[in-house]
Amino acid sequence: MNAVITFGPALVAVLVVLAVAGALVVRFGGLARGRTVLVAAVRAVVQLALVSLVITAILRSGWLTGLFVLLMFGIAAYTSARRIGGSGAARVLRWAATAIAAGVAPVLGLVLAAGVVPFRPIAVVPIAGIVIGGAMTATSQAARRALDELKARHGEYEAALALGFTPRPAALEICRPSAGQALIPALDQTRTVGLVTLPGAYVGVLLGGASPLQAGMTQVLVLIGLVAAEAVSVLVAVELVATGYVRRP
């Protein structure tokens, strides 16, 4: 029995139904504009189709692989900057990139230097993509939560200043606890792996012909690496908000 999802009319119909249903729930539930769900779904289809066309050529070259990883990082930094700064994304772009890189670089450097991930394009690209994506999401969530908290509790921030706190410690007292909640998804996924979910890395390695033990080791590496990368990115993002480098227009 084929364990791989096959393309066909049924798959297309299911994807359309799911996208439209998600958009309707978001729209009529007052959560956001339903259009955002449809745009995200269409972008996912188009982007993955394009990547599928070029990924084989990219994986044949170490230089192209490196450029592709840098492209992923650049898009992640820009996406995070837009989430944090809105119309002022350009002003916070370098700081979003700094927070993401602070989490990604040591994790990728360690797993590659230790040899636990082979220094081959077919292994580097998926691991890099997963870690960069996790750090991007954590950076966006942590910075947004920190900025929202400072705005909502500005009176408490000023009270801390009146008590003798300098701006950075005063801001950290207000925004650090809520910003730390950005780690909850990664921590919950790590705690419940194998009991609630079988994440993509595990399933992908299994489908690639590896043993369940190899798939499990790969997934554990990914999950713990994600937690480490996101923890560093969240810490740096909170520091950047507290010191005033990241702010909204």
Q: Are residues 136 and 162 in the same domain?
A: yes
3-state secondary structure at position 193: strand
- 127 domain residue, yes or no: yes
- 224 domain residue, yes or no: yes
Q: Given phi > 0 = left and psi -120 to 50 = alpha, else beta, which region is 61?
A: beta
Domain boundary among 31, 58, 85: 58
pTM for this prediction: 0.80
Q: Are residues 193 and 130 in the same domain?
A: yes
Q: Are residues 54 and 66 in the same domain?
A: no
Quick one: pLDDT band at residue 249, thresholds 50, 70, 90? low
Q: Are residues 51 and 71 in the same domain?
A: no
Query: Which has more pLDDT, 65 or 100?
Result: 100
Query: Which has more pLDDT, 239 or 56?
Result: 239
Residue 93, CB-side half-sphere exposure with 13 Å CA sphere: 11
The reported pLDDT for the residue numbered 200 is 62
- 90 domain residue, yes or no: yes
Residue 149, CB-side half-sphere exposure with 13 Å CA sphere: 21
- 228 domain residue, yes or no: yes
Q: Are residues 97 and 184 in the same domain?
A: yes
The reported pLDDT for the residue numbered 137 is 94
- 15 domain residue, yes or no: yes
Q: Count CB atoms within 10 A of the CB of residue 240.
A: 23
The reported pLDDT for the residue numbered 201 is 61
Q: Are residues 195 and 105 in the same domain?
A: yes
Q: Are residues 46 and 152 in the same domain?
A: no
- 7 domain residue, yes or no: yes
Q: Are residues 216 and 124 in the same domain?
A: yes
SS3 for the chain is CCCCCCCCHHHHHHHHHHHHHHHHHHHHCCCCCHHHHHHHHHHHHHHHHHHHHHHHHHCCCHHHHHHHHHHHHHHHHHHHHHHHHHHHHHHHHHHHHHHHHHHHHHHHHHHHHCCCCCCCHHHHHHHHHHHHHHHHHHHHHHHHHHHHHHHHCHHHHHHHHHCCCCHHHHHHHHHHHHHHHHHHHHHHHHHHECCCECCHHHHHHHHCCCCHHHHHHHHHHHHHHHHHHHHHHHHHHHHHHHCCCCCCC
Candidate from 62-66, 84-88, 167-171, 190-194 with smallest mean pLDDT: 190-194
Domain that holds residue 14: 1-58
Q: Are residues 147 and 162 in the same domain?
A: yes
Candidate from 65-69, 117-121, 194-198 with smallest mean pLDDT: 194-198
Percent of the chain with pLDDT over 70: 89
| Number of domains into which the chain is organized | 2
Q: Are residues 101 and 207 in the same domain?
A: yes
Cα–Cα dist 16/44, whole Å: 13
The reported pLDDT for the residue numbered 81 is 94
Domain boundary among 23, 42, 58: 58
Q: Are residues 217 and 130 in the same domain?
A: yes
Quick one: pLDDT band at residue 173, thresholds 50, 70, 90? confident
Greatest distance between any 2 Cα atoms in the chain:
69
Given a cut of 60, whether residue 206 has pLDDT beyond it is: no
